[in-house]
Amino acid sequence: MKIPTRSFAIFGVLLIASATGLRADTELEGRMQSMKKAFKELAKSLEQPVAADQGKYLNLISQLHDAAAKARDLTPEKAEEIPADKRPDFIKAFQKQMDETVAAIDLLKKDVADSDWAGAQKQIAALKKDQKEGHSEFRSEKQ
Ligand code: HEM
């Protein structure tokens, strides 16, 4: 039987990818990337808010909220490194932290809707803190 050269090439790539630990991004990582995109633009814009851009900010907040709410129901990759008996607690703690993040996004939405720009900046700072703490606790060191 003749095996096309291309098959060897594909097989080779797969072999190298698995040997070097390359993997497809997790769904959670994809949601987090969406959070980053919206959050980065928001944080920058809200440093010098423009009243006329309120609708644009609310739209970004809605994207951030949507991505965070979906991320909340996914499982961090780090769960695989946690002993099976402790895993449910780890996942519960992750969900609790994400619920707090979603609540902070709701407060941000209220502040922006009320044109309370100082309040909005406080929520941006709170979200940066959530991000830092969330990553140190729930993100695998391998990531
Ligand atoms: C505004 C808030 C946040 C932003 C913008 C954000 C952004 C990101 C980004 C860009 C990544 C992928 C790249 C990387 O690993 O650095 C990531 C990964 C991750 N983030 Fe966040 N994050 C936020 C908040 C949080 C919070 C609150 C938690 C935990 C409760 C969290 C948990 C994780 C985990 C576990 C991963 C690794 C993905 C996986 O396990 O598959 N993040 N985040």
Q: Is residue 37 in some structural domain?
A: yes
Q: Is residue 19 in some structural domain?
A: no
Q: Is residue 8 in some structural domain?
A: no
Taking 70 as the pLDDT cut, the residues of the chain under it are 1-24
Residue of 23, 72, 100, 135 to mutate, ligand 1, most atoms within 8 A of C-beta: 135
pLDDT (0 to 100) of residue 9:
59
Domain count, the chain: 1
Q: Is residue 72 in some structural domain?
A: yes
pLDDT (0 to 100) of residue 2:
58
21-47 as b/e, with b when 16 or more CB fall inside 10 Å?
A: eeeeeeebeebbebbeebbeebeeebe
Q: Is residue 3 in some structural domain?
A: no
Rounded to two decimals, the pTM is 0.87
Q: Is residue 34 in some structural domain?
A: yes
> Ligand 1 within 6 A of 128 CB?
no
pLDDT (0 to 100) of residue 18:
44
What's 126's domain CATH number?
1.20.120.10
pLDDT (0 to 100) of residue 3:
60
Q: Is residue 68 in some structural domain?
A: yes
> Ligand 1 within 6 A of 28 CB?
yes
pLDDT (0 to 100) of residue 25:
78
Residue of 28, 32, 42 to mutate, ligand 1, most atoms within 8 A of C-beta: 32
Rounded distance between C-alpha atoms, residue 68 and residue 87, angstroms: 21
What sign has the CA pseudo-torsion 125, 68, 26, 93? positive
Structural domain range at position 56 = 25-138
> Ligand 1 within 6 A of 129 CB?
no
pLDDT (0 to 100) of residue 63:
98
